[in-house]
Amino acid sequence: MSNLMLAGVLLMLLALAYQLGLTRSRKLTTDLSGQKVRLHSRPVYHGALVAFWTVVPAFGVFLLWRFIQPGVINQMIIAQLPEAIMAGMTDSDMRVFLRRITHLSSGFGLSDQPQPHELQAAELLSVLQVRGHALMLALMASLAAAGLYFSWQQIHPDLRARNQMERVVKVALIACSSVAILTTIGIVLSMFGEAMRFFAFVNPMDFFFGTTWNPRFQTAGTEGQTGFGMLPLLWGTVMIALIALLVAIPVGLMAAIYMSEYAPSRVRSVAKPIIEVLAGIPTIVYGFFALITVGPFLSSFGATFGLDIRATSALTAGVVMGIMIIPFISSLSDDIITQVPRSLRDGSLGLGATQSETIRKVVLPAALPGIVGAILLAASRAIGETMIVVLAAGNSPVLTANPFEAVSTMTVTIVNQLTGDLDFASPQSLVAFALGLTLFVITLLLNVIALVIVRKYREQYE
Amino acid sequence: MKTVKLSSERLGVSNKQPSGKIKMSARDVKVFYGESEALHGIDMDIYENEVIAFIGPSGCGKSTFLRCLNRMNDTIDVAKVTGQVLLDEQDIYDPSLDVVQLRARVGMVFQKPNPFPKSIYENIAYGPRLHGLVETRREMDEVVESSLRRAGLWEEVKDRLDAPGTGLSGGQQQRLCIARAIAVSPEVILMDEPCSALDPIATSIIEELIDELKGSYTLVIVTHNMQQAARVSDKTAFFHLGNLIELNKTDEIFTNPQDKKTEDYITGRFG
Ligand SMILES: Nc1ncnc2c1ncn2[C@@H]1O[C@H](COP(=O)(O)OP(=O)(O)O)[C@@H](O)[C@H]1O
Ligand SMILES: [Mg+2]
């Protein structure tokens, strides 16, 4: 039975069980003598409870089985391999072997002639898979039947189905949030593990404080590799982010002030969404906008002043990235400025301050922590941004203070190290994880600081 | 009270009695919020250095009329004011009049204490600095001290002028707001239910303060509390549904109201 069919069957079972629970509990509303009986819970809750016990345990078995079966089958296949063949196999040989028999058994075929022991193993694999599947179906069917029967039996006027459903809902909510949290933890841990593998090749001091980035391809496994200094990349990232903020802070903040303080509500209702559209433009579009339009423009603009500006440079990438993060700053600041209570404005206006004096001396200082938070969030966005810099920063990992020169960033380097022919055991690709982890820590810190500041600010008026 | 005398000398004001001179007057003032007319033509004279209380059921337009007196209605988009309001015989709605100057002369204290999220000192210094009233830091120190003294807050805060004004208790905050208004030496102070957010003790302190300020400023106080009106004001105006029903000496209003509606209201028959 294919998984799709299985899903269909489970859904049908769900509807059926719900109906059964519903009908039975409805019948209970009048007792034998025809008297009305008050149910503790409304019939829908009884139906839902029966449906839950019928489908969810069976589905749980399905998930668990899917997760465990391949490992178990592999073990069983390996266990029956002849000693002679086992002896000569390394770990990676074993992986290749397992992949080959999977291809064989699924009818995918191999590019070369399979060996006899491989054919045999492949056959065993298909047999085991069929058996495993059948076993799973049997288990699911019996669980569903048992769940349906017992929960249906349980239905009684006093059964607290409503409270039990409440618990079910709570568990479901917890499960969903755990998925999100566990995924995050999993990503961090795997990055951490790979980064540790990288640090087996390269001294962390050389990585974090080295000033040359020039990882040459050396044979994997040799220790003390050089050219993995992160600083040029970090500096490129920081410089572009700073340029972006220089563009985005004034523009975003002024736009926010106009929107929240001056714009008539009709203008505001049109202009605000338009500004926010900027945030929705795919970053690759910004990237070629930078490459094709902004870069050449800045270059020729610089030429009229005798400045030598490369078309792909930190400046180009920074300016375009600045445009991209304007809506982050303007929209968040706008919300924060609007939150400053009217009574404060009235107090200032009532003392004879003009509107711009009121904004400068009362509204902005009151909103400042929140605005700083907004800026930090935008900064962390800028630091993690990839596509714009890939296309427009020039990809030249040198330590330079000149924004008119081409630079490279951590994100760009990660892309470079992970594209093309790869050997995931070499420091050349493992370095991507170390860079990713560093980037993650930086943006995490920025976000945490920003959130703390924003939260503090919120409390101020409560 | 000794402290108050000291400070009134500093501010150069003496306790004058009502001079009988008209300070502000309203002629046929109507206010529209969008289409709906909230005030239906108010005529009123407010005399110099007297305390006038506005009473009336809530929603009758007391705050609306109060805001006409320093053009705070300008800050409400939908509000439109017609008619004439005179301050020292000058029309405050005249386009040539500087609304910033007007609000320095006619100060305002709001229902909910609204100190700026700045230090106590900066709260007071805000107005004088805006209008360039003082030159040196020393002069500013003096203005801050005398304003706080007039508001009866000096003794409580003199050791923590750098502490945030928002950290004070509700009653202290409201006195800070009064001190802030006093600091720009206004001629008229408008107070919109200044005690409605305060507990009884803080309320009685503010009432005492109003008593102290009486005679130095023209005070207009909105209140929903009739005892308060009776205690602090020289005159009382009764508003009802956007009309000024009756305006008279406070004891007259409370002992011998001329209008049936006034009588019903002050005897608690509606409101
Ligand atoms: N900003 C506003 N927008 C629209 N209507 C308002 C506004 N402020 C007050 N009003 C209306 O004007 C009338 C008078 O209100 P207000 O002056 O606040 O009364 P009071 O202060 O006597 O309780 C009320 O009907 C109120 O609904
Ligand atoms: Mg009011």
- Domain residue limits, chain B: 20-114+189-266
Question: Does the pLDDT at position A462 exceed 70?
Answer: no
How many angstroms separate the CA atoms of B233 and A69, rounded? 88
- What's the one-letter identity of residue A115? Q
Q: Does the structure show a pLDDT above 60 at B16?
A: no
* Whether this model's pTM surpasses 0.95: no
Q: Largest Cα–Cα distance of chain B, in whole Å?
A: 57
User: What is the rounded CA–CA span in Å between residue A379 and residue A388?
Assistant: 15
Residue B14 pLDDT > 50, yes or no? no
- Give chain A's mean pLDDT: 88
How confident is the model over A342-365, as a mean pLDDT? Answer: 93
Place A29 in a pLDDT band, splitting at 50, 70 and 90.
confident
Q: Which atom of ligand 1 is nearest to the CA of B193?
A: 21
Point out the ligand nearest to the CA of residue B38: 1
CATH number of A227-457: 1.10.3720.10
Average pLDDT over residues A217-235: 73
Query: Between chains, do A349 and B72 touch, taking CB under 8 Å as contact?
Result: yes
Is the predicted pLDDT of residue B13 greater than 60, yes or no?
no
Question: Which has more pLDDT, B207 or A31?
Answer: B207
More confident residue, B15 or B84: B84
**Mean pLDDT score of chain B:** 88
pLDDT at B155 over 50: yes
Alpha helices in A155-201 (DSSP H): 161-201
Q: Average the pLDDT over A36-41 and give the result.
A: 86
**According to the model, what pLDDT value does residue A310 have?**
86
Residue B76: CB within 6 Å of ligand 1?
yes
Band (A1; pLDDT cuts 50, 70, 90): low
- The half-sphere exposure of A415 on its side-chain side, counting CA atoms within 13 A, is 13
Q: What is the pLDDT of residue B3?
A: 38
Phi/psi of residue B107, nearest 5 degrees: -85, 170
**H or E segment and range at residue A455:** helix A427-460
Query: What is residue A329's predicted lDDT score, i.e. its pLDDT?
Result: 93
Nearest to A352 among B100, B114, B117 (CB): B100
A112-144 confidence digits (pLDDT tens): 788 888 888 888 889 999 999 999 999 999 999
pLDDT at A293 exceeding the cut of 70: yes
Phi and psi, residue B233, nearest 5°: -100, 155
At B4 the pLDDT is: 38
Percent pLDDT > 90 in chain B is 70
**Lowest mean pLDDT across A12-21, A108-117, B27-36, B235-244:** A108-117
How far is the C-alpha of B89 from the C-alpha of B92, rounded, in Å? 9
> Which single residue is written with the structure tokens 């496994």?
A221
Ion ligand 2: residues, CB within 5 A, are: B 63
Task: Give phi and psi for A251, each to the nearest 5.
Answer: -65, -50
DSSP B136-203: SHHHHHHHHHHHHHHTT-HHHHTT-TTSBGGGS-HHHHHHHHHHHHHTT--SEEEEESTTTTS-HHHH
| B97-126 mean pLDDT | 93
Tell me the sheet residues that pair with B243.
Answer: B240
Nearest C-alpha neighbor of B91 from the set B107, B68, B66 = B68
pLDDT over 50 at B20, yes or no? yes
Residue B2 has pLDDT above 60, yes or no: no
Check CB contact of B70 with chain A, cutoff 8 Å.
yes
Output the pLDDT for position B214: 86
User: Which residue intervals of A28-90 are DSSP H helices?
Assistant: 43-79, 83-87
Question: How far is Cα A427 from Cα A199, in angstroms, rounded to an integer?
Answer: 8
What is the pLDDT at residue A226? 74
Q: Are strands B36-47 and B22-33 parallel, antiparallel or unpaired?
A: antiparallel
Contact A350 B72 (CB under 8 A): yes
Cβ of B130 less than 6 Å from ligand 1: no
The superfamily CATH assigns to domain B20-114+189-266 is P-loop containing nucleotide triphosphate hydrolases (3.40.50.300)
Residue of B78, B92, B118, B126 to mutate, interface with A, max A Cβ within 10 Å:
B126
Q: Which is nearest to B149 in space by CA: B161, B136, B164?
A: B161
Query: How many whole angstroms separate alpha carbon A147 and alpha carbon A163?
Result: 18
User: Within 10 Å of residue A53's Cβ, how many Cβ atoms?
Assistant: 24
Pairwise pLDDT comparison (A421 vs A319), residue with the higher score:
A319
Residue A12 has pLDDT above 50, yes or no: yes
> At residue A224, does pLDDT exceed 70?
no
What letters, b where the CB count within 10 A reaches 16 and e where it falls short, cover A184-214?
eeeeeeebeebbeebbebbeeebbeebeebe
ipTM value of the model? 0.88
Residue from B30, B33, B75, B81 to probe ligand 1 pocket by mutation (most atoms less than 8 Å from CB): B33
% of residues, chain A, pLDDT over 90? 48
pLDDT at residue A457, as a whole number: 67
In this predicted structure, what is the pLDDT of residue A132? 92
The answer to whether residue B110 neighbours chain A at the CB level (below 8 Å) is yes
Each residue of A148-206: pLDDT tens digit? Answer: 999 999 898 888 999 999 999 999 999 999 999 999 999 999 999 999 988 988 888 88
> Residue range B126-138: average pLDDT?
92
Residues of A in contact with B127 (CB under 8 A): 351-352
Tell me what the mean pLDDT of segment A205-217 comes to. 83
Token pair of B195, please?
């005690």
What percent of chain A shows pLDDT beyond 70? 96
Residue B114: list chain A partners with CB under 8 A.
341, 343-344, 346-347
pLDDT at B10 over 70: no
Residue A285 clears pLDDT 60, i.e. is over it: yes
Report the amino acid identity of residue B1: M
Pocket flag, ligand 1, residue B64 (CB < 6 Å): yes
- State the nearest Cα–Cα gap between A295 and chain B, in angstroms: 45
- Per CB-CB distance under 8 Å, the chain A contacts of B166 are 460
Reported as a pLDDT band with limits 50, 70 and 90, residue A62 is very high
Interval B15-38 mean pLDDT: 85
HEC string of B70-136 equals: CCHHHHCCCEEEEEEEEECCEECCCCCCCHHHHHHHEEEECCCCCCCCCEHHHHHHHHHHHCCCCCC
